[in-house]
Chain A
Amino acid sequence: MAEVKTATTTAVKEPLFGKKERKLITDPLYDNNPITIQVLGICSALAVTSLVWPSLVISVAVVFVCGFASLFTSLLRNRIPKSIRMIVQLVIIATLVTVVELTLKYLSYPVYKQLSVYIGLIITNCIVMGRLEAFAMANRPWRSFLDGIGNGLGYGAILLLVALFRELFGKGSLFAGSPLGEWKIIGPNADYTINTLAESGIGTWFSWYSNNNLMVLPAAAMFLIGIFIWIQRSWTPKLVDVS
C-alpha cells in the first residue's frame, strides 16, 4: 500500500526562504513563466483580460487556488492512490474554487456577479493542475506551496500586463468597474485626463486618436501574448527552444 512508501528520509532541516525556495517564487515570474514559456492557461488569459480589475481579481484567486491546491496535494501525495490521482487533484481544485466563489458572494456580491463565469473557469486552468502533477506530487508541502504561489504570480503578472494594454487602448481607461473607481485616461470628453476633443493643451496632439475596438476582443490578447513571448525570447536567448 502507498503509505508504506512514506518518505523515511531523515528530516534535513530546510530553510523557510533559502535560495531554492526563493527560486521557486521567482522562476515562474520570468524564466519559467507559465503563460509565455510553458504556454499554459492561455484560454483564461484570452477571456478575462479585457479589463484590469477582473484580471486582478482572477489573478488573486488563481494565486490562492494554486498555492493551496499544491499544499494539500503535497500533504496527501503519499496517500493519494495513483490510479485516481487526477480525480483527487481535480476535487481539491474544485473545492478551493468553490470556496473562492462563496467568499466573493459573501463579501462582494457585485464583483461575484461580474466574474461568476470566469471564477468557475479556474477549475479548468491548466496551470493549476499542471503544477500539481509536475511538482506537488513529488515535493514537500512548503516547497509545493511556494511553487504554487510563484506560478500563480507568474500567471497574474502576464494577465495584468495584457489587461493593461487592452483596457488602455481598447477603452481609454484603467480599473473600470473597480471600487477604486474608473481611471479615465484618454478619450473624447472632459472626464478624461487626455481629452482628445480639447481645443487646447495636450489633448489637441491626440485629436487623431480613437479607441481600438480590436483590443476589446479576445483576439487582441493572443497578439499581445505572442508579442510578449517574442520580446522575452529576444531578451533572453537561452529561453529559445533549439529544435
Chain B
Amino acid sequence: MERTGYIVLFTLAMTVLVALTLSFLFYGTKDQVAINEDVFNKRAVLSAINSHLDTKVDDLNDEEVLGIFDKQIEQVVLDMDGDVLDGVKAEKVDMAKEKKKPEADRQLPLYVYNADGGNKFYILSVRGNGLWDEIWGNIALEQDLSTVVGASFDHKGETPGLGAEIKDNPAFARQFKGTKIFDDNGNYTSINVRKGGAKDRTHEVDGISGATVTADGVGEMLYRGIKYYQPYFNKIKSPSKIRG
C-alpha cells in the first residue's frame, strides 16, 4: 500500500494538470464556439423563411447568415401586452428561461425579415413540451399576419425516427407553408396537427405516426405560442379594420 501522502500528492497533481488542460482548451475555443452557437440559432430562425431566401439556409455560409441578420432582419422584443421593449435584441431572449416565468412576465422575440421586394415576414418563436422533453420552433407569417410562410422545429430529446421527425424530416415542417392561423371570419384557429392526416389543409397538417404525443405537443405549442403575439399584431394591423 502507498503512503497517504503519496496518494494525496498524486491526486493533487492529476487534478491540477487535468484542470489546466481543460480550461486551456475551453478558453481557447470559447470565442469560436460562441460564434458557432450564434450561427446555429440564427440558421434555425432563417429556415422558417427558407422558401423566400435566394440561397437556401443549408447553402449559406456562416458569414452570409450573419450578414442577412445584420442587413435584413429587425429584431424586436415584446412584452405580453404587445408593447415593444426598447434596447433589447430578440437574439438575447432565452426562450427556455422565458418558459419558466409566469405567463404575464414573459418576453417574446420577434424577427422581422425585410425581403428585397419590400415585403415583410414576421418570424415568431414558440416553445412547448414534447414527449420526453421540451420542443421549440420558429414560425414565419406573411404580411397579412395570418398566412404561414414556413416553420422549423427542434427538440431536446424526442425519440429518433418518431418524435424527432419534427426536426429530421423536412416534409413535416414543409406542410405548414400556406396554412392560415385565422379562419375567414377572423377567428384565431392556429394550426392543428392532426393524427391520421389533415382534413382541412388551411388550418391543419398531418401528424407523425407513432409520435402522437410529440405531434400534439407541436399543435399545443403553436396554439399557445402564436396567441402570445396577437396583442402586438392587433396594434400594428391597420386601425381601419376595427369595426365601429
Contact = CB atoms under 8 A, between A and B. Distances in A.
B160 interface: yes
Given A79-B10, A217-B159, A2 B26 contact: no
Instruction: Indicate the member of A80, A105, A176 with the most B CB atoms within 10 Å.
Output: A105
A81 B36 CA distance: 41
B25 A99 contact: yes
Interface string A77-110: 0011111100110010001001100100110011
A177 interface: yes
B161 A50 contact: yes
Categorize the interface residue count of chain B.
Answer: 20 to 34
A80 B159 contact: no
B86 interface: no
B18 A95 contact: yes
Contact of B6 (A81, A88, A110, A113): A81
Given A102-B26, A177-B168, A1 B6 contact: yes
Contacts of A83: 1-2, 7
A21 to B, nearest CB: 29
B29 A106 contact: yes
A170 interface: yes
A215 B161 CA distance: 9
A231 interface: no
B233 interface: no
A170 B2 contact: no
A213 interface: yes
Contacts of B3: 1
A109 B40 contact: yes
A79 B7 CA distance: 10
Interface in B16-36: 18, 21-22, 25-26, 29, 32-33, 36
Contacts of A109: 33, 36-37, 39-40
Nearest to B154: A113
A171 B37 CA distance: 29
A117 B157 contact: yes
B7 A216 contact: no
Given A50-B160, A84-B11, A102 B40 contact: no
Contacts of A102: 22, 25-26, 29, 33
B162 interface: yes
Contacts of B161: 50-51, 170-171, 213, 215-216
Contact of B7 (A81, A105, A106): A81
Contacts of B40: 109-110, 113
Q: Taking each of B21, B22, B26, B160, which has the highest tally of chain A beta carbons within 10 Å of its own beta carbon?
A: B160
Contacts of A95: 18, 21-22
A95 B26 CA distance: 12
Interface string A182-219: 00000000000000000000000000000001011100
B30 to A, nearest CB: 9
19 contacts: A50-B161, A79-B10, A83-B2, A84-B7, A87-B11, A88-B14, A95-B18, A95-B21, A99-B22, A99-B25, A102-B33, A105-B29, A109-B37, A110-B40, A113-B40, A213-B161, A215-B161, A216-B210, A217-B159
Interface of A: 1-2, 50-51, 79-84, 87-88, 91, 95, 98-99, 102, 105-106, 109-110, 113, 117, 170-171, 176-177, 213, 215-217
